Amino acid sequence: MREILGRRRRRRLRRTARSARLDAALTCATVWRWPLLPGVGLATTGTRGERGRGCACPDPECVVPGAHPFDPGLLAATTDARMVRWWWTNRPTAPLVLATGGQAPCALSLPAVAGARAVAALDAMGLRLGPVVATPTRWSLLVAPYTLERLGELLHSKDWVPSSLRFHGEGGYLVLPPSEVGTGQVRWERHPSAGPVAPWLPDVEAVLDALVEASTGAPGDGSRLAY
């Protein structure tokens, strides 16, 4: 009897998690107007229902397991409610992938330790932050859309930019909560503001210096990529 109750509880939890992803996808796409598509997700290994940490894509050495588009490709990202509902009804465990740039948010990401340091520094400065996405290995700060030209000008003015600091702009993507990827759960470190409008986002100029400094102070001077 205890085993039967345990199975029922696990099934309820899985249904709740799947419903949460669909709800989150619909909010992002239809309320905030952020273009989404399902990520490739994780491969299933071992017994039925057991989740492996490897990517479901064909690359056995994928460096971002589960955390990237595959089929459909990035250009399929949409805000259409019917398409989003169809995707996550058919693939309820798929990660939520935001197509960054254009009219959609951009992001800057860095290793988790440096990200926590940067957020603390920005808080101490009294700077208003937008949503912050966290995985066990990386934090990503969402910012207002920027062009590659503007980003190039900003980076050109820096003496050095750590390679561990990544920029998710036009043609890029970012996995959003409540997804699961190879490194673990994707969560909100700073939740988006509630309401019927898209969350407020800071300009990239406002946060770039703090992120560069935090990445530079990370182990190895932030030069090592950490997925």
Give per-residue pLDDT as tens, 91-101. Answer: 999 999 999 99
For the cut 80, the answer to whether the pLDDT of residue 11 exceeds it is no
CB 25 within 8 A of CB 84: yes
Residue among 10, 14, 16 at smallest CA distance from 2: 10
| Buried-exposed string 194-227: b where 16+ CB fall within 10 A, e elsewhere | eeeebbebbebebbbebbbebbbebeeebeeebe
The structural domains of the chain, with segments of one domain joined by +, span 2-222
Coarse DSSP helix, strand, coil percentages of the chain, rounded to the nearest 5 percent: 35, 20, 45
Amino acid 142: pLDDT: 98
| Contacting residues for 82 by C-beta, under 8 A, at least 6 apart | none
Amino acid 74: pLDDT: 95
Amino acid 193: pLDDT: 84
Tens of pLDDT along 160-199? 888 889 999 999 999 999 999 999 999 999 999 877 889 9
Tokens of 158: 């820096």
**Mean pLDDT of the 125-150 span:** 95
Amino acid 221: pLDDT: 45
Pairing of strands 42-44, 51-55: antiparallel
Amino acid 194: pLDDT: 76
CA–CA gap between residue 130 and residue 101 (Å, rounded): 16
Tokens of 4: 């039967």
